[in-house]
Amino acid sequence: MSDLAYIGLVVGGLFLLFGLHGWVMPAAHAASMDRFPRHRGMAVLLTLINVIWITWLLFNTPLGRFEGLKPALYVLAPLTFFAVIQYMDELLAPRMWGGFLLLVAAPILDIARWHDSAARLVITVLVYLWVIWGVILVLSPYRFRQLLEWIRRKRLIPVMTTVSVLLGGALIALALTIY
């Protein structure tokens, strides 16, 4: 099984779980989506993941004349984490979710780039949509709440969960057959 197949299974499984949660427990699903923008636990978890990932990237990337600053990351990374949690707490969860989408895009695109099937473009397009959404969330996290309000006003939660289930199923099918 190729790396792209594993990515398709994981991403498809996440979309499938998200959609099935909305089908099985629509009220709980809507409530959890409403709580997400100000959810302290998710904000802390996503911030921790992002800071660790960025620190790892900085340690494993040649920095040229700034190479001597790498030991300072042992102090700067925890300070950054605590400063972000303390001083950027307004809508931090969507902002960090956007940062996570930006971070996860590069390795997925690197893997998809070398796959010989044209079906790799499904993942590629999906990841580029993540990048656009990630940039929007990092720069304007209130857009997440605006989107949720619009989805509720138009009563689109069943449509959203159905699309999520179909996309998840399609990605899993691609992972098991083509990737």
Given this model, what pLDDT does residue 89 score? Answer: 83
φ and ψ at 69, to 5 degrees?
A: -85, -5
Q: Does residue 140 fall inside a structural domain?
A: yes
pTM: 0.91
Range(s) of the domain holding residue 19: 3-39+92-177
- The structure tokens listed for 90 are 């307004």
Return the half-sphere exposure (C-beta side, CA atoms, 13 A cut-off) of residue 13: 8
Question: What total number of domains does the chain contain?
Answer: 1
Mean pLDDT, 10 residues at a time, the chain of 179 residues: 94 96 91 93 97 96 92 96 93 96 97 92 96 97 93 89 96 95
Q: Does residue 84 fall inside a structural domain?
A: no
Q: Does residue 56 fall inside a structural domain?
A: no
Q: Which residues of 97-129 are buried (b: 16+ CB within 10 A; e: fewer)?
A: bbbbbbebbeebeebbeebeeebbebbbebbee
Count of other CB atoms within 10 angstroms of residue 136: 16
Given this model, what pLDDT does residue 152 score? Answer: 86
Q: Does residue 67 fall inside a structural domain?
A: no
Q: Does residue 79 fall inside a structural domain?
A: no
| Distance, CA of 147 to CA of 142 (rounded, Å) | 9
| Distance, CA of 166 to CA of 15 (rounded, Å) | 8
Q: Does residue 168 fall inside a structural domain?
A: yes
Given this model, what pLDDT does residue 7 score? Answer: 96
